[in-house]
Amino acid sequence: MLICPQCKFENPNTNKFCQNCGASLTHKVCSECGTHLALNAQQCDNCGAACGAVLWAIITKEGTFRVEGDEKAKSSLFPLSAGSYLDSQKRYQLLEPLPALEEIAPNTEICVRVLDCQPYQVPLLEVMLENQQKGLAMSSVGIDKIPSLAKPYVALQSWCHQGIPPIHDAWQQDDMQIVLIEDRSNWQQLLDLWQDDSISSLQIVHFFNQMTQLWSVLEKANCRQSLLELFNLRVDENQSLTLQRLYVELPNNTMTAQLPEDTEATVPTAEAQPLTIQALGWVWHALFRQSQRTQFGSILHLMGELELGNIQTSEQLQSRLEAIASELQGNPTSLPIPPILPKSTAAPTILQLDEQEDETELQMQSNDISIAMLPIQLISLENAGLTDVGRQRDHNEDYFGFETKVYKLQFPNQHTLQARGLYILCDGMGGHAGGEVASALAVNSLRQYFQTNWASHQLPTEDDIRAAVRLANQAIFDVNQQDARSGVGRMGTTLVMALIQDTHVAVAHVGDSRLYRITRKRGLEQVTVDHEVGQREISRGVEPSVAYSRSDAYQLTQALGPRDENSIVPDIQFFEINEDTLFVLASDGLSDNDLLTIHWQNYLAPLLSSSTNLESGVQALIDLANHYNGHDNITAVLIRAKVCPNSKQQQ
């Protein structure tokens, strides 16, 4: 079965093009320059960019080696040189040589990098898992079971935790177990980052919190040992903690981690130590010791408490870390450290040129000058939205809606990729059967308008957008008139709306619902300016402190519905996406009290990476707002747009 790289449709092995979207199943496209390449290409022939699906293979031999006369052993594929294949189907090509089978000691492991030469083919492990559920066997191809080495990865797969390397494939043949996981061998080691003086104390606390969270997840598969090997602790491009691979604990929950020889005498190094939460403290001691970094007061005290056994559970440890983080940020209240966001497992609305998108991200970050000189093209567009009533309201007057469409045209010497998205968020006012009616009316009116007034491959004009907003206002205004509503009884709604056509964006808003933009270069930017009395006074030259000392400072100066179209003057902006960008549409229940301004680095910046799940990210935002605000309805819409240079167009 071949899985289409564009639409994830399942195709027969004989297909050359996807039956659903027409994408090629015999070639792939370089994410840097758009060149068509063979599926087994490791690098682009045109621009040299890495484009192969490189994996980390873990190979182990069970028991003892067979005697010399064993014909089955003589027929083994080992030794193998670089360029040979690890499997009989010639899918996984070795990038490094393997020793002879006789040289592999029983129950030891060898790790090598391999290239997936058939990246669209369903992995054998996936087939085995499906057949296992159906009670079928695969002895016909010489493989009769899932390797025990693979089972922890499979067990933790449902957690979608970005710290755990995803398993790609696995099989067992004769006495050899082979497991293929994401290649993280070149990712930065945490110890190397620890030695960087620019890493703050707060970042160190966050690393500790990530380890504590991982501890709880790994405990479910008896793999806490994975956190006890310093060389196994890595960081991704967002400086989040990850593991290079999994290590299974010994029976009876003991540890065998040999920490560095010069680690303090108080840190146990003997084998078979009882495996408790104290083990994390030993690793933290080793990190400070090896990096020669000074331990600061709160952490020094915490590690002492761990060593004495005064902290027994990961929950207790997390609570202490939250308090330290709050202290470092000068916040007297309890600060929830943001959760580690799981990897995306859903099939989002996505426009993607290559499977190695994160590799492209790293190359782009290291080559900003050359990228700035090239035209930019969109390679993926994802979205997620969620609304919540909050902790004090008895009904929800917020409403949102979005539509994303992706187009792909492909010919032998040309391909065109286009995407369009409409994203709307409204915060209603007017009480029961008022605010929620107004916000829903506005969203539906705008959707209907652009279904018939956005026909070309360009953004609607400013006049078209303004006309759409006024029609939405009129729809609510007419209901107010028909129901003879007056004064505060007149229903209305705020509006913030984003329209995306490829790399072009238009933003329109009325009221105090906001749109934020997050990029790696510029950080968090508030794109919209609230339509409220305080901001109106500031625009007239009044000092902000004076403007917001008024009792009516937060009163809206305009909203959709209460008045006719002549009173509505939406702010409309146009700009282009020239780097990976996360857009956030937020109702005031989310943005009040500078919540996003304070917490964006922990809750929004990680979502720039395609390895994080937007649905989990938007839920984390709702939880954060309920913790700190909760006085109003809370709504968030996230849009992740990823781009790359289009050197083909430049040529």
Same domain? 160 vs 239:
no
Q: How many domains does the chain have?
A: 3
Q: What is the rounded (10 degree) CA torsion for 253, 257, 262, 264?
A: -20
- pLDDT band at residue 93 using 50, 70 and 90 as cut-offs: very high
Same domain? 177 vs 120:
yes
* Helix or strand run (H / E) with residue 193: helix 190-194
User: Which amino acid type is present at position 267?
Assistant: V
Can you spell out the DSSP letters for 220-272? Answer: TTT-GGGGG-GGGEEE-TT--EEESS--PPBTTTEE-----TTS-TTS--SSS
159 in a structural domain: yes
43 in a structural domain: no
pLDDT of residue 299: 85
Give the Å distances, CA to CA, from 253 to 250, 282, 431. Answer: 6, 16, 57
CA distance 503 to 579: 9
Share the mean pLDDT of the chain.
Answer: 81
What residues are paired with 646 via a beta bridge?
none
pLDDT of residue 102: 64
Q: For the segment 58-71, what is each residue's pLDDT rounded down to a tens digit?
A: 998 775 433 333 44
Q: Average pLDDT in the 150-170 region?
A: 85
pLDDT at 421 over 80: yes
Q: For the segment 438-493, what is each residue's pLDDT rounded down to a tens digit?
A: 999 999 999 999 999 998 789 999 999 999 999 999 999 999 999 888 777 789 99
CATH of the domain at 585: 3.60.40.10
pLDDT at 74 over 80: no
Three-class SS string for 60-82?
EECCCCCCCCCHHHHCCCCCECC
Q: Which range has the top average pLDDT, 317-331, 411-425, 565-579, 633-647?
A: 565-579
Same domain? 532 vs 639:
yes
Same domain? 434 vs 557:
yes
pLDDT at 224 over 80: yes
Last residue of a domain, one of 309, 328, 347: 328
Same domain? 319 vs 466:
no
649 in a structural domain: no
pLDDT at 348 over 80: no
Per-residue tokens: 274: 């009882």
373 in a structural domain: no
345 in a structural domain: no
pLDDT of residue 117: 93
Q: Average pLDDT in the 38-67 region?
A: 80
Same domain? 152 vs 235:
no
pLDDT of residue 352: 41
464 in a structural domain: yes
Q: For the segment 383-413, what is each residue's pLDDT rounded down to a tens digit?
A: 999 999 999 888 999 999 999 988 766 555 5
What is the value of pTM for the model shown?
0.53
Give the Å distances, CA to CA, from 223 to 68, 80, 98, 470, 556. Answer: 36, 31, 27, 59, 54
Last residue of a domain, one of 129, 158, 182: 182
CATH of the domain at 275: 1.10.510.10
pLDDT at 618 over 60: yes
364 in a structural domain: no
Between residues 265 and 604, the one the model is more confident about:
604
Lowest mean pLDDT segment, chosen from 78-92, 178-192, 276-290 = 78-92
In percent, the amount of the chain with pLDDT more than 70 equals: 79
Q: Which residue has the tokens 């559920």?
A: 133
Question: Are the beta carbons of 640 and 610 closer than 8 angstroms?
Answer: yes
362 in a structural domain: no
pLDDT at 591 over 80: yes
- pLDDT band at residue 330 using 50, 70 and 90 as cut-offs: low
Last residue of a domain, one of 149, 182, 215: 182
Residue 611 lies in domain: 389-643
Between residues 638 and 316, the one the model is more confident about:
638
- pLDDT band at residue 4 using 50, 70 and 90 as cut-offs: confident
Same domain? 221 vs 100:
no
Question: Sign (positive/negative) of CA torsion 342, 346, 348, 352?
Answer: positive
- pLDDT band at residue 339 using 50, 70 and 90 as cut-offs: low
Same domain? 519 vs 548:
yes
pLDDT at 577 over 60: yes
Same domain? 449 vs 531:
yes
Length of the chain, in residues: 651
Same domain? 176 vs 196:
no
Same domain? 160 vs 240:
no
Same domain? 106 vs 215:
no
